[in-house]
């Protein structure tokens, strides 16, 4: 079972990844966008960190709802409302339970990704964050690491696609040949989840060892 602490760590590790990769995300947003994806997410996740530090969100659902709301209110670009909706809807699905199962989270994320598709009107193949999120969440039935790998693979697969949604779509065929920045950050988000889940498993093992000795 995963508690609020697990979700706080997810948001923190995701923020660290955004900080580390912000320049690259902005570079990817240069040829097919307006060169602000890294700075958008950096602003958003910095605010998420501050909001979660100020408010003792007591449940997994509350952590994600607060993080989502914060992204919606602090990120001006298209990605803020979209990622905000992903987290807020996922959090709402998790409800108020103090602990949630991996199956609960899988179903909630599935609903969250559905809400992103509904809000943005995009589908896989349109060269957006959904090209990483949809295969990523589908692979969650395997493991968090499988989901992260599928999302990473999905992000790379956006290179030959022509953008049909968002700012990149204005470029038409000239959007071909570049990796989508939002698909790239979506893979970071699921990568952070896998990192936190791996660390959680390690901790469990340590606890078992300590119990046994």
Interacting residues toward ligand ADP by CB under 6 A: 29, 33-34, 36-37, 40, 77-79, 82, 120-122, 128-130, 165-167, 180-183
23 binds Mg ion (CB under 5 A): no
Q: Which residue has the tokens 């609903």?
A: 111
38 binds Mg ion (CB under 5 A): no
SS3 content of the chain, % helix, strand, coil (to 5): 75, 0, 25
Q: Which residue is nearest to ligand ADP (CB)?
A: 182
**Closer to ligand ADP at the Cβ: 91 or 120?**
120
Question: Which of Mg ion, ligand ADP, none sits in contact with 183, Cβ below 5 to 8 A by type?
Answer: ligand ADP
Question: Which of Mg ion, ligand ADP, none sits in contact with 79, Cβ below 5 to 8 A by type?
Answer: ligand ADP
**Closest separation in Å from C-beta 129 to Mg ion:** 12
**Closest separation in Å from C-beta 188 to ligand ADP:** 12
**Closest separation in Å from C-beta 36 to Mg ion:** 4
**Closest separation in Å from C-beta 83 to ligand ADP:** 9
- What element of type H or E holds 99? strand 99-100
């Amino acid at each position: 079972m995963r508690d609020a602490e697990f979700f706080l760590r997810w948001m923190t590790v995701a923020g660290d990844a955004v900080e580390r990769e912000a320049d690259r995300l902005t570079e990817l947003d240069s040829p097919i966008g307006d060169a602000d994806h890294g700075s958008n997410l950096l602003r958003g996740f910095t605010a998420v960190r501050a909001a979660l530090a100020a408010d003792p969100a007591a449940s997994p659902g509350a952590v994600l709802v607060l993080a989502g709301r914060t992204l919606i209110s602090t990120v001006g670009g298209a990605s803020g409302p979209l990622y905000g909706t992903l987290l807020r809807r996922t959090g709402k699905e998790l409800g108020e339970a103090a602990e949630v199962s991996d199956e609960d989270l899988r179903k909630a994320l599935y609903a969250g990704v559905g809400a992103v598709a509904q809000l943005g009107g995009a589908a896989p193949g349109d060269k957006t964050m959904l090209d990483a999120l949809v295969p990523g969440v589908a692979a969650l039935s395997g493991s968090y690491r499988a989901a992260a790998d599928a999302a990473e693979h999905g992000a790379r697969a956006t290179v030959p696609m022509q953008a049909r949604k968002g700012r990149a779509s204005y470029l038409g065929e000239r959007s071909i040949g570049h990796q989508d920045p939002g698909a790239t950050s979506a893979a970071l988000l699921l990568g952070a989840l896998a990192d936190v889940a791996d660390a959680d498993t390690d901790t469990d093992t340590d606890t078992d060892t300590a119990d046994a000795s």
